Structure 1
Amino acid sequence: MFIRRENFSQYIKYYPVVSLLIALNTLIYVMSIFPIIGDNLFILGTGANFLIADGEYWRLVTPIFLHAGFPHLLFNMFSLYLFGPELEKIAGKMRFFTIFFIAGLLGNVATYLLQPLNYNSVGASGAIFGIFGAFAALVYYTRNTLPQLKQTIMPIIIISLIMTFLQSNVNATAHIAGLLTGFVIGLIDFHPRRILNWRIKKKR
């Protein structure tokens, strides 16, 4: 399910939203490594709670597309590359983007509400955890009919949550809020008919 066998052009054709998000995040990262441009991107886009409190509400969105170094970008984009396509296929393009964006947004909202005013954050991790949460909702609906999905995705979610609390400089608030957001949206979106259509397509 999560092994990608498409070539580059097929991947872009089949999963346009995932491809666009990876390209956008990568482009912004490349821009951020240039001294003046990069400094301005972080000055204007970092999720700085004290500036959000001062009315700069765009900072609830912009951190989703900023990353603090190449390893940070690589981990998030590899997760998106690996797990995004199947969810885009199941949910459809707009629903997939909705899960990604709202999970990232509410992860930043939770960070603003629950962390101190001097807290700063960047990264798409909350949105990535939203994808995991949507898969958890799918596991809930298919727990009796598709046990292999549970056996595949749940260990990944559990390990990701454990690593959230073992690593330093990780926005655990955004991770948990994103996970819960994706789960709730998934419960709403993944009605039995959509799941049935997805299973039929996988058998072809």
Structure 2
Amino acid sequence: MFFVRTENFQQFIRYYPVITALAAIHIILFIMTEVIPLNVFQEIKAFLLGNNYLVQVEGEYWRLFTPIFLHLSLTHVVFNTFSLVLFGPALEVMLGKVKFILAYLFMGIIGNVFTLFVGPLLMSHAGASGAIFGMFGLYLYLSFFRRDLIDHQSRQVILVIIVVSLVMTFTGANINVYAHLFGLIAGVALGPIVFGNK
């Protein structure tokens, strides 16, 4: 079963350094920008935030990358970080550290790129959801095309998680639907590249 965590804290850090670093960035940035009332941290938040207008009109293209690490509510950072810690380790092990982080960032950026092209011009956004849904997309690819790499129980779990997550995407408030959908699609499309065809 891919998604059962039995490691203690020190083992988790040692086995999954990329996941650990990403989770730490989520938490540290959230505390800085949403908990500590300092102007400098609000300036950092403004610099990292995704904003279609500032990308398209002002050419601030880093905003296609930086929102992946920024979260604007406790619920958002907890959900995304928990999902990363639960579903990321198996992928980090299967892909290796470098390939995993490149895939993760690529899927997150794709979600933000499509948010730019499809979303409203004045839309602002933040969160790792595009990359998280990208991980779901990788698992979706494994579930249908590389069943030799994923056990039956894990397939069942991930399919249920994807369905529930998609329902929440379309029924929840203040959710970047574009990042979720295109992150998922990017993960499926990236599957044969990073895992290969059997």
Same fold at TM > 0.5:
yes
Alpha-carbon separation, structure 1, partners of 2:46 and 2:146: 45
> 1:124 maps to what in 2?
128
* Paired residue type of 2:187: G
Tell me whether 1:47 sits opposite 2:25 in the alignment.
no
- SS for the counterpart of 2:173 is coil
Deviation of 1:29 after TM superposition, in Å, equals 1.2
Deviation of 1:143 after TM superposition, in Å, equals 4.1
1:34 to 33, 36, 45: 36
Give % identity.
44
Alpha-carbon separation, structure 2, partners of 1:37 and 1:69: 19
1:137 to 129, 141, 144: 141
**1:49, 1:119 within 8 Å by CA — same for their partners in 2?**
yes
RMSD: 1.6
- SS for the counterpart of 2:138 is helix
2:169 to 164, 168, 180: 164
**1:31, 1:37 within 8 Å by CA — same for their partners in 2?**
no
> 1:177 maps to what in 2?
182
TM-score by length of 1: 0.89
Structure 2 gap segments, 5+ residues each: none
Alpha-carbon separation, structure 1, partners of 2:190 and 2:137: 9
TM-score by length of 2: 0.92
Q: Displaced runs of 4+ in structure 1, greater than 6 A?
A: none
> 2:95 maps to what in 1?
91
**1:49, 1:116 within 8 Å by CA — same for their partners in 2?**
yes
Aligned length: 193
Q: Deviations over 1:10-45 (max 9, x none)?
A: 001111110110011111112113221331122111
**1:99, 1:134 within 8 Å by CA — same for their partners in 2?**
no
- SS for the counterpart of 1:123 is coil
Deviation of 1:191 after TM superposition, in Å, equals 2.5
**1:46, 1:59 within 8 Å by CA — same for their partners in 2?**
yes
**1:64, 1:123 within 8 Å by CA — same for their partners in 2?**
yes
Alpha-carbon separation, structure 1, partners of 2:183 and 2:75: 21
